[in-house]
Amino acid sequence: MDDHPPNLPWYQPIGDEVQVFEAAWAARLPVLLKGPTGCGKTRFIEHMAARVRAAGGGTGVPLVTVSCHEDLTANDLVGRHLLLHDRTVWTDGPLTRAVRSGAICYLDEIVEARRDTTVVLHSLADHRRVLPLEKTGELLQAAPDFLLVVSYNPGYQTLLKDLKPSTRQRFVSLAFDHPPPALEARIVVHESGIDATQADRLTDIAQRLRALQAQGVGDGVSTRALVHAAQLMRQGIAPRRACTVALADALGDDPALAQAARELIDVLLP
């Protein structure tokens, strides 16, 4: 396949992640995406969901996305009985809908969900590919095109928010990170429409701010934040102001860190 087939969500490959995902898709192996926030994990799965069937003339595989949070329960994923007039009816959750229809189910930031929630994934993420619906007594066999994909950000991982080995080892793991400067500048140009010189300056700022992160100061800046700054510049906001609101002030609430970022921006931008 070409790197960028037409009519697909645009994604800039960094390594061999496209080829590995295609192989996992062919074998219907569940996939774990891990990497910092804003580095392209969600765009990647959107691209791959459209891509995996496009080569055969299709329109891709449907993508069901669930943003996980600490209140997410197994019932939220699987489904529940609801009262309708004078009777109760079963309503599928997003995971069950994906299993029935043959979609890719993407559970974003899976470690944010309650720990007992991930247990329902085990029988889907191994050779059985089944989802037990205890409340209806159904053992649901996954449709042929169903694929389970989960993601998380290791930077926010704690002992209380981690995947158990029994869950993690069911997945093919793809590690994501910030792109190399040349590729990151290309992404910024494509996503915002600014010129290459401006994109290079933004990428340079990101590299310097991430150096602060490496020293334990703040969380660094994401590629997504660079795109936001570039889009503001494209709309006529002065570069320093755009970088202040999209990069420096987005690093956190530490005034000293924000001031250090602003000073860096003043030095690197004309």
**Strand ordering across the sheet containing 63-67:** 63-67, 104-108, 147-152, 31-34, 172-175
Give the pLDDT confidence of 119-140 residue by residue, as tens digits.
899 999 999 999 999 989 999 9
The whole-number pLDDT of residue 59 equals 63
Give the pLDDT confidence of 250-262 residue by residue, as tens digits.
777 777 778 888 8
Task: Quote the mean pLDDT of the chain.
Answer: 88
DSSP annotation string for 195-248 = -HHHHHHHHHHHHHHHHHHHTTSS----HHHHHHHHHHHHTT--HHHHHHHHTG
Give the pLDDT confidence of 153-185 residue by residue, as tens digits.
886 655 446 778 888 899 999 999 999 999 999
**pLDDT reading at 7 higher than 90:** no
The whole-number pLDDT of residue 119 equals 86
pTM comes to 0.88
**pLDDT reading at 4 higher than 70:** no
Distances 92 to 52, 73, 135 between C-alpha atoms, Å:
26, 14, 11
